[in-house]
Structure 1
């Protein structure tokens, strides 16, 4: 057997996404843009000791949560170190998200360089009904949105075993998606060069900020208001247009950007999971960001074309992100390559998990730092509700236009979800 290209024992080559966030941390150390603060709602009287013991079991179970990364021989390598129980801080009762973020940032306990990837903080509720919010601070290097669902499900199971005095199952194997071989890489690079040939940047503020400047900038946020049961309206429109609600919402965002800057050709980046069935229960940053080329966004068939472009990208999504940028970026520039706007859509179920003496469920993740010149974070909630937030760096071109952009998103969403019969009735 040829072992000339086999990795050294005990380590593996980092994935493309791991490389991306490892280098991002080198560019802007400690930036909140690379950190994830997620929340777990605890229903019932929380026991700090049981929670701490359960969290330690989850860290021991998932190799990603005890990984260290180091460059050697022109490659970034990942090794697994012995588990360390994550710290559990105590916050004043009723501590809200922003205050928890500040307290956890001040703690300095998150240390990806030594494999300390999880810091917890617990805030008891202030009402008469027992409950609490558990804040989970991690790093994008090893954690994505779906990882939080896995973490919470495993935390609930581990908590139930702790209070019952039962042992924990064996740790999971350390797996990542397999990268394409050289032939497939060449084929994918050729596809993306053709698909993104000549695509211009989104009109911006002069030369635009670099990724380092974005990561070091405080974000300005604006809530996008949706009517009740907006999710149901998106689903009805999606059936009519033969595409999923994601395409309707992405198109509304693209059209709103067009309304404000007049761009007829640009890209929006959207995170997509790279999880295969064998990785469904794994924690890690198992995603890539697909550049979706938007052309003639105001045309009548914009939604159908946006969906076709996105699905074409899905068939070619296994090209590592750094290879994609190298293949497509043909001109120098300070701004983020390929796309300067992001669209992050979370639509997965958020079940309530039985944890023995308490119950647990996740809440949507709120971005901590600035990851693009403008970002639209959209969450589908129970009862067909939609919750959206626009984000842009303070002082940037889009920060002062987020309210206007939110209005444009709402207006375009209403147009896309209104049937011709309803329009006829109005007239």
Structure 2
């Protein structure tokens, strides 16, 4: 199948693996992610001529090392060129000062490791010497993966050492001629993988991967970009020798190899991180199924898709048996090139991820041949191409002093701290496995004692004293007694002092009591934004009842459901809205109807006797509910007081001016009303049409000298985009209700921000806010804003579906506890 294109130059088809790698490299021209670099420090007297001759002989001996690639009729072909030796340039750094020289070595090594190959023109092996002194050099070798693999590097080291030793001694090459070349393998592979052999291999893998998930989405620090950059980095650790030996023993008891045991452990970790039970991980296999291939340099390695089912409350021992079966089946069908499998499966080709699997696992359990050159002491010099071929690759290696672990990861997705934490979780998991392999895999810990203490205790140490035995109306009455003449509510031209608001609420409260309102009795409140609305909700609390805000803009059937579901016996409203509500037998009090006004005015304006305690209901707010049916959330006094009194996310004082922007039926109004009125601050009510006009809204904030405000994320984005200076006079700006837009927050911080910008989070069931984050800086590459830490007297835990607390970086659901719930 060879074609002669010139004297001593031949064309051969590529192997399946080479073909796929060639096409991938065309998608990222100029990328070094398929470079395989090696750098070693040489101490002693180097025979440079012998080294150059040894490299030349290697290239002459292995056709793969003098192969370039050419596109012929749309297909890549191997071009085996005549042997012309290898250029070995030397860079002299001997005259540089020590520190400067070391930095230059590091730079040049990385530069060489990251310099791309032109596969159509460049030989796939290049070399470079860095001279540091008469007795010290650094040798840098870089080979392209399209003609090499891990096994090949061992062959290269072994033969380079043998050739150098012979040539330095004036002897001929001691190496026997090779029986075959890599091009012979490509021809043999294509001849073999057809007919019944191909169909048998394909049938196995198609069955094995039927219905497999296309993507394993690990929790990442950043979302995927439309196309991968292949930028990567590595983090490493050494697990104890004792753990390595214990893992071997666990496997041996089940007839499993260390590879199988580590793969089962790694897939357990991935399952716990993602919350998934169907895990597909890639793993390389040498691919040298014939003995004559063992001494060749070439790209033989194949990738196997290891799919494991973690479902069924398995113990680790049971899982290991599954993984053993999976591994043996994969090894028995290893001849099908991964590239051919991808073609057959035909997955959607996406530039942001690898097909079939995005995570790799490998165990180096055979000692890689070390480069040995007589008369020289050799030391490995770290190299880094700065790339990652997959989202994440776990490399493990049996060493004399333990289990070496290296994780190569995409820096598009992960921070270094995330990977360091993952390695720690893997070690904790493996320790738990060897301690009790019969324990269910979902119960095996990932977090060590220190991290677990941090998750459960340190991060939830939010206890703070607050008036837990008081009620909202008691605290308001105390404040009214302290600052009776202070401004309580402002709306347009109407202003109420604390004394006036208290007296107005007292009269309505006494009228409500005559209608039977008492502890936990729900009272509907349907009033426009006004001082009457504030007095109305306060009056309900003073009567001992719980207010239920009703938005007249809701559809009639929704309002009817809420009236019936909350068992509202009394509705406080105004005449203009009377026709909105299907009141039925509900008693209606119109605060602006002459008869009702007269009855209310005839009541005493003294504080009524307390009618409710801290655990009685303060309000019921209806949310849309997960099914679309409105759902009433009932909140007691203690929860509200925990929200606004002696908390940590904001400290309100009588000097504050708080704005009410929220509709009363939205739970943010809880913060606005009681945050202001329980601290002696002023509450300014701004009409809805003003809030929807960013310039008018900004003017209103300035005119009223607003210092504290909550805005929904959507309204914040609109105002920040249209009137970015609107918040400049604020001391506290709280934003929440939806996912925060980092671009908007970054822009505000760069312009005229408030003193404090907070991203707050909390379902209605947790009384408005459960967590908060002070936004002081938003980096340019940020794709989200944290929801932060729990507010005072609140606990947050992320748990799995079995309600076990998960470590940082692991997928789970947020559980919220404390008196706000």
1:134 counterpart = 2:139: yes
1:102 counterpart = 2:110: yes
Contact preservation (8 Å) 1:33, 1:371:
yes
1:260 match: 273
SS class of match (1:141): helix
Superposition deviation, residue 156 in structure 1? 0.6
Superposition deviation, residue 51 in structure 1? 1.8
1:8 counterpart = 2:9: no
Structure 1: segments with no counterpart, 5+ residues:
1-5, 422-427
Superposition deviation, residue 240 in structure 1? 2.1
Map of 1:22-421 to 2, 5 A cutoff? 22-40=22-40, 42=42, 44-83=44-83, 84-90=85-91, 92=93, 99-105=107-113, 110-122=117-129, 133-168=138-173, 172=178, 173-175=180-182, 176=185, 178-179=188-189, 180-200=193-213, 201-204=215-218, 208=224, 213-214=227-228, 216-275=229-288, 276-296=290-310, 299-300=314-315, 301-331=318-348, 333-334=350-351, 335-351=353-369, 355-358=373-376, 368-381=386-399, 383-396=400-413, 401-418=418-435
C-alpha separation in 1, matches of 2:35 and 2:309? 33
C-alpha separation in 1, matches of 2:275 and 2:386? 29
C-alpha separation in 1, matches of 2:430 and 2:321? 15
2:736 match: none
Superposition deviation, residue 397 in structure 1? 5.1
Superposition deviation, residue 125 in structure 1? 8.0
Q: Once the two structures are superposed, what CA deviation does each residue of 1:74-124 show, in whole Å capped at 9, x if it has no partner? A: 53321211223143444756579963442315766x443225112223457
SS class of match (1:12): strand
Q: Once the two structures are superposed, what CA deviation does each residue of 1:32-80 show, in whole Å capped at 9, x if it has no partner? A: 2111112456564333332222112111111100012222235332121
Contact preservation (8 Å) 1:38, 1:366:
no
2:808 match: none
SS class of match (1:33): coil
C-alpha separation in 2, matches of 1:416 and 1:88? 52
C-alpha separation in 2, matches of 1:79 and 1:228? 47
Superposition deviation, residue 258 in structure 1? 1.7
Contact preservation (8 Å) 1:35, 1:368:
no
C-alpha separation in 2, matches of 1:413 and 1:86? 47
Indicate the larger mover: 36-45 or 270-279: 36-45
Contact preservation (8 Å) 2:250, 2:437:
no
Q: Once the two structures are superposed, what CA deviation does each residue of 1:370-419 show, in whole Å capped at 9, x if it has no partner? A: 111111122222x1422212122223157663123112211122123335
SS class of match (2:260): helix
SS class of match (1:284): coil
SS class of match (1:165): coil
SS class of match (2:146): coil
CA 1:101/1:24 → structure 2, altered by over 3 Å: closer, same or farther?
A: farther
CA 1:248/1:285 → structure 2, altered by over 3 Å: closer, same or farther?
A: same
Structure 2: segments with no counterpart, 5+ residues:
5-9, 94-100, 439-821
The CA RMSD measured in Å over matched residues stands at: 3.3
Q: Once the two structures are superposed, what CA deviation does each residue of 1:107-159 show, in whole Å capped at 9, x if it has no partner? A: 66x44322511222345789x9x665533211111111111111111111110
SS class of match (1:274): coil
Contact preservation (8 Å) 1:35, 1:140:
yes
Q: What TM-score do you get using the length of structure 2 for normalisation?
A: 0.46
Q: Once the two structures are superposed, what CA deviation does each residue of 1:275-301 show, in whole Å capped at 9, x if it has no partner? A: 131011111111011110021077322
Contact preservation (8 Å) 1:149, 1:362:
no
Superposition deviation, residue 244 in structure 1? 1.1
C-alpha separation in 1, matches of 2:434 and 2:325? 19
Superposition deviation, residue 268 in structure 1? 0.5
Contact preservation (8 Å) 1:197, 1:328:
no
Contact preservation (8 Å) 1:32, 1:369:
yes
CA 1:87/1:202 → structure 2, altered by over 3 Å: closer, same or farther?
A: same
Q: Once the two structures are superposed, what CA deviation does each residue of 1:208-236 show, in whole Å capped at 9, x if it has no partner? A: 457xx43x332133223412454333322
CA 1:138/1:242 → structure 2, altered by over 3 Å: closer, same or farther?
A: same
Indicate the larger mover: 56-65 or 411-420: 411-420
Larger-gyration structure (1/2): 2
CA 1:330/1:49 → structure 2, altered by over 3 Å: closer, same or farther?
A: closer
C-alpha separation in 1, matches of 2:102 and 2:403? 25
Indicate the larger mover: 82-91 or 336-345: 82-91
SS class of match (1:271): strand
Contact preservation (8 Å) 2:278, 2:310:
yes
1:425 match: none
Structure number with greater CO (CA < 8 Å, separation at least 6) is 1
Contact preservation (8 Å) 2:149, 2:300:
yes
Indicate the larger mover: 260-269 or 393-402: 393-402
CA 1:140/1:97 → structure 2, altered by over 3 Å: closer, same or farther?
A: farther
C-alpha separation in 1, matches of 2:3 and 2:72? 11
CA 1:240/1:41 → structure 2, altered by over 3 Å: closer, same or farther?
A: farther
